[in-house]
Amino acid sequence: MTQPLAAARQAVPFLDALPEAVLRSAQTVSLEPGALICLEGDLCQGLPIVVEGEARVYRTSDSGRALTLYRIAPGESCILTASCLLSGRPFPAFAEAETPVEAVVLPAAAFGRAFAEAAPLREHVFGLLARRLGAVIELVDAVAFQRVDVRLARHLAEHADGEGRLARTHEALAEALGTSREVVSRTLKEFERRGLVALARGEVRIREAAALRTYGA
């Protein structure tokens, strides 16, 4: 337990500022891609802080569609969980690992104590909460006012790696945007016809990043 914790302290600086007793109660966990971290309606048992890998938080509709609210990067925690812990509400979404994830979990009681005592933890939580609110507001705007082709174009431009590649299936892109697979396939094909992207099985390659970023504007 102390071995992975040491690694975690590298990735998550504010852990060092926590009281020793809190740190001792922390657990580390490893998750496979697709593993669920929190379920809608859960009463959270502890605060997970991602050390490595990436997770996403999403909502689902009863017709089976899904929509990603935001992603959790290394060094970030599941801020919705923190807010649930402090307010006693059930978790209002789903959180799942997208890649293999290593995380540190502070048990609820320890988190409560640490939150009262350690200013760096409060700053982390507060800052993250503020950023998430901003991100979700942008998402509301996109869902309410923007067409899916525009949203898809931006999504591609934002999530491509250094070489302009994006290893996602159309299905996965549809879940990120809250639409259906067919709509994504249609739209991507149209992008390809216009020379903006190149398509391969399980992969999108960006040809005109700038055009995608400003698509529809």
Partner DNA sequence: GGCGGAGTGTGACCGAGGTCACAGACATGC
Partner DNA sequence: GCATGTCTGTGACCTCGGTCACACTCCGCC
69 binds, among DNA, its own copies, none (CB under 5 to 8 A by kind): its own copies
Q: Tell me the one-letter amino acid at 2.
A: T
Is position 183 an interface residue for DNA (rule: CB under 7 A)? yes
183 binds, among DNA, its own copies, none (CB under 5 to 8 A by kind): DNA
Sequence-ordered list of residues with C-beta below 8 angstroms from that of 135, at least 6 positions apart, any chain: 69, 70
Cα separation, 217 vs 209, whole angstroms: 14
Cα angle for residues 90, 77, 142 (degrees, 5° grid): 75
**Site for DNA (CB under 7 A): which residue of 33, 147, 194, 195?**
147
Cα separation, 155 vs 83, whole angstroms: 28
141 binds, among DNA, its own copies, none (CB under 5 to 8 A by kind): its own copies
Is position 180 an interface residue for DNA (rule: CB under 7 A)? yes
**Site for DNA (CB under 7 A): which residue of 5, 66, 128, 199?**
199
**Site for DNA (CB under 7 A): which residue of 68, 77, 81, 179?**
179
Q: What is the DSSP letter of 60?
A: E
Burial zone of 16 (CB within 10 Å; 0-12 exposed, 13-18 middle, 19+ buried): exposed
* Tokens (6 digits) for 117: 């005592």
169 binds, among DNA, its own copies, none (CB under 5 to 8 A by kind): DNA
Residue at token pair 């898809």: 152
Is position 202 an interface residue for DNA (rule: CB under 7 A)? yes
Contacts with its own copies by CB under 8 A lie at 59, 61-63, 65, 67, 69, 79-80, 82-83, 86-87, 89, 92-93, 122, 125-127, 129-134, 136-141, 143-145, 178
Q: Tell me how far, at minimum, the Cβ of 205 lies from DNA, in Å.
A: 12
Contact 194, 200 (CB under 8 A): no
Sequence-ordered list of residues with C-beta below 8 angstroms from that of 37, at least 6 positions apart, any chain: 31, 48, 55, 78, 95, 96, 97, 101, 103
Is position 166 an interface residue for DNA (rule: CB under 7 A)? no
Q: Which of 50, 152, 138 is nearest to 96 (CA)?
A: 50
140 binds, among its own copies, DNA, none (CB under 5 to 8 A by kind): its own copies
83 binds, among DNA, its own copies, none (CB under 5 to 8 A by kind): its own copies
**Site for DNA (CB under 7 A): which residue of 126, 137, 182, 194?**
182
Task: Give me the residues that bind DNA (CB under 7 A), please.
Answer: 63, 65, 147-149, 169-171, 179-183, 185-186, 188-189, 192, 199, 201-203
